Structure 1
């Protein structure tokens, strides 16, 4: 097993490794208007909204942010390093859903019916998306804010990123890929998912066993070092199969087989086209946004949460507990 892991992490050729290290992040991880709209949304989630804020937005057009609902923190309830909101704003969210339905039933005149309708109209008209609003194609989604969560994760990451980057560098992989951990677990050592994923990298047992030990007695997914080596193996395998980092990164969430099916069905390796056109029950919001969320996390950490910016945000986000 160890030998297999070593073989996966060793560069297949000197030229391949050289091309990776010579390329810039923008060349390795390209964007497009479709992807950039998603990146902009996730940057705002990571920087503008705290964990006690619920952001209301259009599920398919992330440029449309209707507003946010802020609730008090419950300082007695903790989830990792995050304080939980004291109440759920379900009733208020439902009032926005009702307002959306009113536009379908009544058309543009609904914007005069109340505060919620006015907010919705302003958000959609600002982004030239009125047609989707009145045609019933607009779907409301709620996203929790993550600015304070991201700040805490960035502080924890300083302990791990140097070694994680070395592992990826030694494997011939772009070190920016280590920022996937922000998306997967926010560097929470205790992260567990309902479907069985575990650790920093939220590896599933079957996937992880290809590279590390996962047994009842020993689960190396919960070792940042071993899990990072396994994740490097997964990402390298994804890239070898898909030949493009946007697809390989998305495959980390959607699965290598799933991305192969998307490419085969649409006959394209353009992730933007896949995001817009691929229709599969398993290719939901998380998969469509995974690459963009990774790009946003890398960007925020690089430009806003290093050095003086990290200290500034710490001052702006004092400890709630």
Structure 2
């Protein structure tokens, strides 16, 4: 029995017990109320208190409130994290959003297809955004960027769920070589995208994430110039004041439009797939090479299921010099996972013993190259050295390689 099955049965059992208790309590209250409600059984004092006894008691109201619980799925959790639904937009700005609402709702089958592709990723992405206390609407950026296709590639060279260009991915430490492309790795690229949005918001826009979204699409230089022009004209300089490239002008309206539809799908005649609140995958740290074919045989699952969860592995194999994390379906047996990881601890200890404490940057180095050389992630290397702008790495700079 899997962890999820055990948890669901426990919750179901607990929920059934609570509901049965409530039903019994309600039945007792209903019986008492029925006796009080019978005029033939009333005393003089009962008649004087009729106005109180003829109305639902607090127990009745509480009972029905307990039963009318919100269904717990990934969509309801996402809706709970929305922060922009109450923002007040000008009539002109609202018209831009409404235009995209009409566009999306005209093809509900497209929404169903795209949200279906989101099924493996939505719960995990929503959790990452919630952990950072960011607006939940950001979880829908992949809807706009890639239609939730981790393998999506644009004609301009952008790739992955978050559509990183090669240069931007390199600057953020997303490893890219013949074995692996971090832009296609959903876990790695999601963390990089959220880091990037927060970093630009703090660096340029005093925390304004909507301006950071525009910069995510068009580049900070383009947005900063447009913002300056708007302010010179006496405008506030918010996203809605800016004159930007057409694609960027539509970027936030698209995001707000699909968030509006997700917030109330019945209103827009849209069906959403059932997605559980827990992530659909587990992360396995490996320090040894393994092919997806080998892993699928050991885990007794289809190779295609592993390939779907690990699009960053370009040649169907995990090479620890590029990536150490393999994603597997969440319900894989833990004993089998331990067998897959066998030997990883010993290899990790050897690697750790051979890793120096510091490294001096040489000409031509990048964070991703240095990180992979010493079996670190680029994000970990940035954290250890408090690096905010990976592109600012300079020859001669001394980097810390461990927390020792």
From 140, 159, 184, give the equivalent of 1:179.
140
The 8 Å contact of residues 173 and 232 in structure 1, kept in 2 or not, is answered as no
**Residue 40 of structure 1: aligned partner:** 98
1:214 is the counterpart of 2:273? no
CA drift of 1:272 comes to: 2.2
Number of the residue aligned with 1:123: none
C-alpha contact 2:81 2:135 (8 A) present in aligned 1 = no
List, as ranges, runs of 4+ consecutive aligned residues in structure 1 with deviation greater than 6 Å. none
Change in CA separation of 1:234 and 1:305 when aligned onto 2, cut-off 3 Å: farther
Partner in structure 2 of residue 310 of structure 1: 271
Superimposed CA distance per residue, residues 106-157 of structure 1 (whole angstroms, 9 cap, x where no aligned partner):
xxxxxxxxxxxxxxxxxxxxxxxxxxxxxxxxxxxxxxxxx32221111222
Residues 190/30 of structure 1: CA separation in 2 closer, same or farther (3 Å cut): farther
Cα contact 1:154–1:305 (8 A) shared by 2: no
Shift of 1:309: 4.6
Per-residue deviation, residues 179-237 of structure 1 (Å, max 9, x unmatched): 11111011112210011100111111111221422233321111111111111011112
Do the aligned residues in 1 keep the contact of 2:160 with 2:186 (CA within 8 Å)? yes
After superposition, the Cα gap between the structure-2 partners of 1:311 and 1:204, relative to the gap in structure 1 and judged at 3 Å, is closer
Unmatched tracts of structure 2, length 5 or more? 1-79, 274-404
8 Å contact kept, 2:160–2:185: yes
Partner of 2:211: 247
Residue 184 of structure 1 contacts residue 202 of structure 1 at CA under 8 Å; is this kept in 2?
yes
Q: How does 1:127-142 map to 2 (within 5 A)?
A: none
Say which SS state the counterpart of residue 191 (structure 2) adopts. helix
CA contact (8 A) 1:247 1:269 kept: no
- 1:263 counterpart residue number: 227
CA distance in 2, matches of 1:148, 1:238: 35
Determine the C-alpha separation between the residues in 1 that align with 2:240 and 2:229.
14
TM-score by length of 1: 0.53
Match of 1:223 among 185, 188, 198: 185
Q: Gaps spanning 5+ residues in structure 1: where?
A: 1-20, 51-146, 313-321
Contact 2:183 2:189 in 1 (8 A): yes
Higher relative contact order (CA 8 A, sep 6+): 1
Query: Aligned partners of 1:43 and 1:286: how far apart in 2?
Result: 16
Larger Rg: 2
